[in-house]
Amino acid sequence: MERPSPKQVTIFNREALEEATKAQVTWADRVFRRRLIVSTSFGIQSAVILHLVSRMLPEIPVVFVDTGYLVPETYRYAEELTALLRLNVRRYTGLVTAAEMEAQHGKLWETDLDEYHRIRKVEPMRRAIADLQAHAWIAGLRADQTTFRATLDPVTWQDGIFKIHPILRWRSQDVYYYMEHYGLPQHPLWEKGYTRVGDWHTSSAVGVAADPAAADGEKNARFDGRAEECGLHTSGIADE
């Protein structure tokens, strides 16, 4: 038998990773049925989890928490992916507008980041879970993005809801080659050096190398290095 080439082994590994991921989504659909949602920020590389899940579960609610401070490129990217993948997007915003919040509290992202995240992200997500009567939530977290995410299991329990992380073990290069293989568009800010992008006031470029598989998840890429997480994946989101 002829020995496989390194390239053939690489291709096999990628295909095996994708099949294992699909098996996890299939399991989640079988167990939770219509009580299953997927979340997205329409940030860098969000296309992967959205493409993978929507192909298998085309009617699944896609929860988009819009803080009101996203960069213009993200709103355009959201429109592009929604049309391309025919996503069933459910957009949630804070109970107070960005202008109202600033009038009452000032620039909370500078003075109280936790409270900012609670108002603009955690509360809208909690409301989405209640409105959609979700029992399980698919999220595109990866272990190589933050210290906290490196501690996660593929399926976890987060204070009242199951969390499913189908691409948890994917690396940056796996994401890149998946997007290349399926011809998925990159976020417009990817080529400008952004490896993670959220609100305009707490996102910054980090000088991505020419290598498209360069490491991502730099701690200073969001929140000016003050935090790695925004509370969506760490708080008691379904309890309060």
Q: What is the DSSP string of 14-25?
A: HHHHHHHHHHHH
* The pLDDT value given to residue 198: 81
- How many domains does the chain divide into? 1
Residues in Cβ contact with 80 at an 8 Å cutoff, skipping those fewer than 6 apart: 185
Note down the domain range covering 83: 6-225
Query: d(Cα 115, Cα 99) in Å, to the nearest integer?
Result: 16
**Could you tell me the strand order of the sheet in which 136-138 lies?**
88-92, 61-65, 36-40, 136-138, 162-164, 155-157
* The pLDDT value given to residue 230: 59
Catalytic residue among 87, 168, 175, 230, which? Answer: 230
- Residue 238 falls within a domain, yes or no? no
* The pLDDT value given to residue 216: 42
* The pLDDT value given to residue 135: 96
Would residue 230 show up in a list of annotated catalytic residues for this protein? yes
- Residue 1 falls within a domain, yes or no? no
- Residue 82 falls within a domain, yes or no? yes
In the predicted model, residues of the chain with pLDDT beneath 70 are: 1, 6, 205-231, 234-240
